[in-house]
Structure 1
Amino acid sequence: MKEQQERLGKCIYLNGATSAGKSSIARELQKLLQEPYLHVEMDAFLLMMPGCYLGSEETAKEGFYWKESYDNEGQKIIEIEIGPIGKRLRSGMYGSWVALLNAGNNLIIDDVNFGRDQVDIVKQLLASYHSTFVGVKCELAELERRERRRGDRVLYTARAQYALVHRNVIYDYEVDSTTFSAIECAKQIKNYLFTEI
């Protein structure tokens, strides 16, 4: 069993709200780690979708629908509702992770899941592999600042995700991208991985 696991790929799973810095941390980890790791982004899968299935149009309700709402403080938020086509894409994405790991590829997975129940589904999926679950945390004000500055994000999604993404999740390790740069967060994760062995 141990010999079989050594032939499988290893996985670093990064979970955090939009604009938390997951992609930047993943790229820095690729430079730091001695073994090659593929950076697998949820965004890359979203970009495979026809544009009409992403956004606030009626057809997007079948895919990934941006729903305008308000939080408990009366602040505008954009919630993402996933329809049947979106769920099918997500299922296929999960299957691709397993296929890559089974082929011996190491992965840095850059994802957004909401709360313990959703993250536990991923933990179960990756239970056969050497996986490290990392929470990428960032304060709301900084998330919103980055969201506005980037220009390629849907405004008000960071606020919607902030309250949900880490709720009751038990991680192996956590980093705070509010005060630490992507390279500093990557070094912290690498040091954790080294001491974990």
Structure 2
Amino acid sequence: MVPGRVILIHGASSAGKSTLARAVREALPAPFVHLTVDQLIDSGALPGGADWREVRARVFDGWHRAVAAMGAAGVDVVWDHIIETPEWHEALRDLLAARDVFFVGLHCDLAELARREAARGNRAPGDAARDAATVHVGKRYDLELRSEDGVAVNVARVVEAWRGRRGASAFFG
């Protein structure tokens, strides 16, 4: 079985990762599954009565392993995610080592992040700004995009770059 490919869209909370991921999935000729931790949150799958700080690390470790398992089963994935720490990045490098990974950095203006965060109403105020200050630090991408350029433009850029990719992903460098 051929391991599944992964297009990993990374950026701050409210940067537009899920919107871009869904549009990329629809634009690609091969079937890709869109995965995001928001699916767990929205489904009610996360423990409601538990102390989130107590279970958070285990939940994300399990989520990372689940996404890697999809690839091991031969499923192609468009994954939107926030890699919060260097330790997470290192663990994901190990989990995805046998995968064809295409690493996309999605940047967004701070004022726009704050506007989107407030409009969503399901994010703690300041999460997006905190993410924006840290999530791209030390990361090298196969492709970097700006949310302000619009979904259609960014989808075309992802699809073109995905088709033209050569060699190892910057994700592993």
TM-score (structure 2 length as normaliser): 0.87
Residue pair 1:119, 1:169 contacting (<8 A) in 2 also = no
Tell me the CA shift for residue 23 of structure 1: 0.2
1:61 match? 53
Q: Is residue 35 from structure 1 mapped to residue 30 from structure 2 by the alignment? A: yes
Structure 1 residue 118: deviation in Å? 3.2
Among 46, 50, 56, the alignment partner of 2:47 is 50
The CA deviation at 1:144 is: 0.4
Aligned match of 1:75:
none
RMSD value, Cα = 1.7
| CA deviation after TM superposition for structure 1 residue 172, in Å | 1.2
Deviation at 1:150, TM superposition (A): 1.9
Aligned to 2:169: none
Counterpart-to-counterpart distance in 2, 1:90 and 1:175: 25
2:17 matched to 1:22? yes
1:148 alignment partner, one of 118, 123, 129: 118
Partner residue of 1:185?
Answer: 154
Q: When you count strand as a share of all residues, which structure comes out higher?
A: 1
Structure ID, larger Rg: 1
User: Which residue number corresponds to residue 11 of structure 1?
Assistant: 6
Is the alpha carbon distance of 1:131 and 1:120 closer, same or farther for their aligned partners in structure 2, counting shifts above 3 Å? same
Q: CA deviation at 1:124?
A: 2.7
Q: Secondary structure at the match of 1:170?
A: coil
Normalized per residue, which structure has more helix? 2
Q: How far apart in 1 are the matches of 2:93 and 2:160?
A: 22
Q: Which runs of 5+ in 1 are unaligned?
A: 54-58, 63-84
Question: Given residue 146 of structure 2, which amino acid in structure 1 is its aligned partner?
Answer: D
Runs of 4+ in 1 over 4 A off after TM superposition: none
Separation in 2, partners of 1:191, 1:109: 18
In the alignment, structure 2 segments of 5+ residues that lack a partner are 167-173
SS at 1:51's partner residue?
Answer: coil
The residue that corresponds to 2:56 in the other structure is 86
The number of residue pairs the alignment matches comes to: 164
Question: Residues of 1 paired with 2:122 and 2:53: CA distance?
Answer: 21
Contact residue 39 and residue 107 of structure 1 kept, 8 A: yes
The one-character-per-residue Cα deviations of 1:28-65 (angstroms, maximum 9, x if unpaired) are 01110000110110222344212344xxxxx3331xxx
Q: Report Cα offsets for 1:99-138 as digits up to 9, x if no partner.
A: 2112111001111113555324322321211111111111
Matched, 1:172 2:167: no
User: Are 1:129 and 2:99 an aligned pair?
Assistant: yes
Secondary structure of the structure 2 residue equivalent to 1:147 = helix
- Quick one: distance in 1 between partners of 2:87 and 2:142? 16
TM-score (norm 1): 0.77
Determine what percentage of the aligned residue pairs are the same residue: 30
Q: Distance in 1 between matches of 2:40 and 2:7?
A: 18
